[in-house]
Structure 1
Amino acid sequence: MPYQHDVSRCMASVIGDVGLKQGELDAALGEAEAALSEIRQMYAGNTLPLLHLPEKRDDLAACATAAELLTRGASDVVLFGTGGSSLGGQALAQLAGYQVPGPRPRTGPLSAHKIHFFDNLDGETLDLALRRFDPKTTRFVSISKSGGTPETLVQTIAVIEALKQAGLDWNMRQHLVILSSPGNASDNAMRRLAEMHNLVVLDHDPDIGGRFSALSNVGMLPSMMLGLDPGALRSGAADVLQPILDGADAATVAPAVGAAVIHALTERHGLTTSIMMPYSDRLRLFSNWYQQLWAESLGKKGRGTQPVAAAGPVDQHSQMQLFLGGPPDKLLNIIMLQTAGSGPQIPESYRTDPLIGYLAGRTIGDLTDCQQRATAETYARNGRPVRTLTIDTLDETTMGALLMHFMLETIITGLMMKIDPFDQPAVEESKVLTREYLATM
């Protein structure tokens, strides 16, 4: 397994009454067993294609062809999509350096600072971008599972019109790729645009929801443009899923243990918040992905816990005051990277300095290693539940494993809560009202 999962600091024997008694955890693990059985049935009946993604490879050739088309002669690639159509791709792109401070070497066909995710709709932002990008060398990808996401639809139409104004309507196919569910132009607006302008279209599996699509072509396309290995990403996911398919007990399956801990803390100890706090710049967008996954899957019927995206060590200087000094109703999830000995080293010449000497001979990685361990222990000593996922190396295999862990943990938690983790009824209501308002303008 590419990570070590430790929930010992969630137990009453370590943190006191706020934590779980062994009997409470055992009871929750019993409920998780039923959820694992249901997941095995989904796999066997192929009713949840997400579970077959780790073994899937036949979609990667189409992704590679599209990636080559999009990066050939490109100065920039822009990806339109909202929610799950973007957040998984962003988390994967960050592994290749996207939104990591400082210059990054080119590791694939496209440099990380030349890929842009437009995941929010803002007219002024898009207008400025379309005027500043060179239309001849900028490529675009529009991702919408339904084909009717209004934010992505208007962005795509704006790009088409901008390309026309630049005299590139004859070559639209080289500039814009669509990723949407199979269907026809009569009921899928994105496919209608693709048909009108002879665009390349990749099929979005209609049975994989956006927030669960990071390991599908939605995430593989930007990953391949940046030189990441899609096979390794999916192999890492397989490492996490396989024990479930092999019939392992819930107590030995990390996502089931995580789900059992969170469910028991919520139902029996008033947990209201789940904080994701990785100690790595390359996992900060992973926290954003987790936040949407957890919120949209489990916030239903007046129930659910609030996910919070955080990062270490920076949030030790901001949110940590609330985490430690506020109500004891928050679970802290720390992703630790083995950083000791890495990064620049502070010279020994500072050893005798009364203010700096304690850092002499230490590396930057030594400091962050101590900080992440100290945060976990401080949280526990203050009677707050904390679990850790420790990774040796942050690479494609590990990232694939982390993505699959939290998708499975979310699904198992939803099944334990007796809710559907795959729908989003509250979101649909606001979409309907938006269309009604547009009709009256």
Structure 2
Amino acid sequence: EVANRLKQYDVLVVIGIGGSYLGTKAGLHFLETPFKQTKPEILFAGHNMSSNYMVELLKYIQDKNVAVNVISKSGTTTEPAIAFRLIMDQLKERYSKEDLQSRIVATTDQARGALYQLSKTEGYDQFVIPDDVGGRYSVLSPVGLLPLAVAGYDINKMLQGAQKAYQDASISDLSKNVSYRYAVLRYMLYQQGKKIEMLASYEPNMQYVNEWWKQLFGESEGKEYKGLFISSALFSTDLHSLGQYIQEGERHLFETIIHIDTPTKDIEIQKQDSDLDGLNYLAGKTLSYVNTKAEEGTLLAHQEGQVPNIVLHLENVSEASFGYMMYFFEIACAMSAYLIDINPFDQPGVESYKKHMFQLLGKPGY
């Protein structure tokens, strides 16, 4: 009901940072049709503190019909709190209090916190971030599902995909439990001296899945001076930049490749009489075939260069596949952390920079 109401607006601004931003961004980018204009347009704020970004965002939305989904358990996380304040300053000049009640949706704690209190006082619709779900694990909660539903995607299929991943991860036979096998392989490579894992794919729609994955594993494992350093690449683009290092640089990394088995669309390369570009040997082949052979050739080259590769297969680009992939990595991440005796559900180190930043800003109590 709320998602359908928000679809009437020109723009939905999703305000959040970390898991309150990356999961939704990953889903939108993974599922979207390139170059297609959508309504409502989903924009993001509160994921940085760039003055230029905020000024341009406010300028862009000033003559548009705007709704906001603000996401924060506490309501006091600096980046989204500043963004919400600045955006609301504009919206309060444009809309009545009653109108804002239909435009603003808060995804927050169920009973406490500044955002909970504000939304309760102002009469904004609220969705709950479960107490036992941290931000980086929250994409399949209202944090990610609401904006993805507003964008027109079938969130029931996402949850069905996640349910399938849960069932597959419940198999006690390790040879059939791909999620746990992935966790164990990462652990074994780490024990053998590999210190960096690079997640790579040959589809550009994986860009923000990569970014979400880096937060998931980086925040979950990187504690007590342990854990793999997490990096990512998009091939074949990054083969023309990082490829040299991967092939012949320090032997301290391994790659995890996500291979999408079925492309959403394809195109055939046609024969030309002149063949000036020397590509007639590819005539009759599809572009996805060439892309797959680039992947296979790179895999062979990197193995020759002593870079171990883990290949994970994703059936297709769909809501169900997105849900499956998110849950697959979440449970693999938890198991990976437990294998190195780390709690995967806290992030104490994140508070260090905040303490120094608040001191420099003169925040009371710091």
> TM class by shorter-chain length?
over 0.9
Cα RMSD of the aligned pairs, angstroms, is 2.1
- Contact 1:145 1:181 (8 Å CA) reproduced: yes
In the alignment, does 2:309 pair up with 1:386? yes
The residue that corresponds to 1:20 in the other structure is none
The residue that corresponds to 1:71 in the other structure is 7
Give the AA of the match of 2:183.
A
The residue that corresponds to 1:428 in the other structure is 351
- Contact 1:341 1:363 (8 Å CA) reproduced: no
Residues of 2 paired with 1:426 and 1:68: CA distance?
39
Residues of 2 paired with 1:385 and 1:303: CA distance?
20
Specify the SS of the correspondent of 1:202: strand
Residues of 1 paired with 2:317 and 2:220: CA distance?
26
In the alignment, does 2:140 pair up with 1:215? yes
In the alignment, does 2:267 pair up with 1:344? yes
The residue that corresponds to 2:77 in the other structure is 149
- Contact 1:85 1:211 (8 Å CA) reproduced: yes
The residue that corresponds to 2:30 in the other structure is 95
- Contact 2:169 2:179 (8 Å CA) reproduced: no
Match of 1:197 among 112, 116, 122: 122
> How has the CA–CA distance of structure 1 residues 144 and 197 changed in structure 2, closer, same or farther, with 3 Å as cutoff?
same
Match of 1:299 among 218, 222, 230: 222
> How has the CA–CA distance of structure 1 residues 351 and 371 changed in structure 2, closer, same or farther, with 3 Å as cutoff?
farther
Residues of 2 paired with 1:363 and 1:376: CA distance?
20
The residue that corresponds to 1:14 in the other structure is none
Deviation (angstroms), 1:208: 0.2
**Runs in 1 of length 4+ with deviation above 6 angstroms?**
none
Q: Give the alignment of 1:93-172 within 5 angstroms.
A: 93-97=28-32, 101-103=34-36, 110=39, 114-118=41-45, 119-134=47-62, 137-172=65-100
Match of 1:259 among 174, 180, 183: 183
Specify the SS of the correspondent of 2:234: coil
Size of the aligned set, in residue pairs, is 363
Deviation (angstroms), 1:348: 2.1
Q: Percent identity?
A: 24
The residue that corresponds to 1:370 in the other structure is 293
Which TM-score applies when normalising by structure 1? 0.77
Match of 2:19 among 84, 89, 98: 84
> How has the CA–CA distance of structure 1 residues 396 and 224 changed in structure 2, closer, same or farther, with 3 Å as cutoff?
same
- Contact 1:350 1:356 (8 Å CA) reproduced: no
Structure 1 residue runs of 5 or longer lacking an equivalent are: 1-64
- Contact 1:339 1:368 (8 Å CA) reproduced: no
Residues of 1 paired with 2:220 and 2:190: CA distance?
16
Deviation (angstroms), 1:189: 1.4
Residues of 2 paired with 1:430 and 1:353: CA distance?
56
Structure 2 residue runs of 5 or longer lacking an equivalent are: none
Higher RCO by CA contacts (8 Å cutoff, separation 6 or greater): 1
Match of 1:355 among 253, 278, 296: 278
Residues of 2 paired with 1:326 and 1:204: CA distance?
43
Deviation (angstroms), 1:340: 7.6
Specify the SS of the correspondent of 1:425: coil
Query: Which is worse superposed, 121-130 or 74-83?
Result: 121-130
The residue that corresponds to 1:240 in the other structure is 165
> How has the CA–CA distance of structure 1 residues 396 and 352 changed in structure 2, closer, same or farther, with 3 Å as cutoff?
same
Deviation (angstroms), 1:102: 2.3
- Contact 1:338 1:369 (8 Å CA) reproduced: no
Deviation (angstroms), 1:238: 1.7
Residues of 2 paired with 1:139 and 1:209: CA distance?
25
Deviation (angstroms), 1:334: 0.9
Residues of 1 paired with 2:179 and 2:117: CA distance?
40
- Contact 1:232 1:400 (8 Å CA) reproduced: yes
Residues of 2 paired with 1:255 and 1:341: CA distance?
25
Which TM-score applies when normalising by structure 2? 0.93
Query: Which is worse superposed, 235-244 or 431-440?
Result: 431-440
| CA deviation string 1:269-317 (max 9, x = no partner) | 2111111112112221101110111101000001111111211221111
Residues of 2 paired with 1:227 and 1:101: CA distance?
15
Query: Which is worse superposed, 308-317 or 344-353?
Result: 344-353
| CA deviation string 1:69-126 (max 9, x = no partner) | 2222x111110100011101111111331xx64235x5xxx35xx1112222222321
Residues of 1 paired with 2:109 and 2:166: CA distance?
25
Deviation (angstroms), 1:150: 1.5
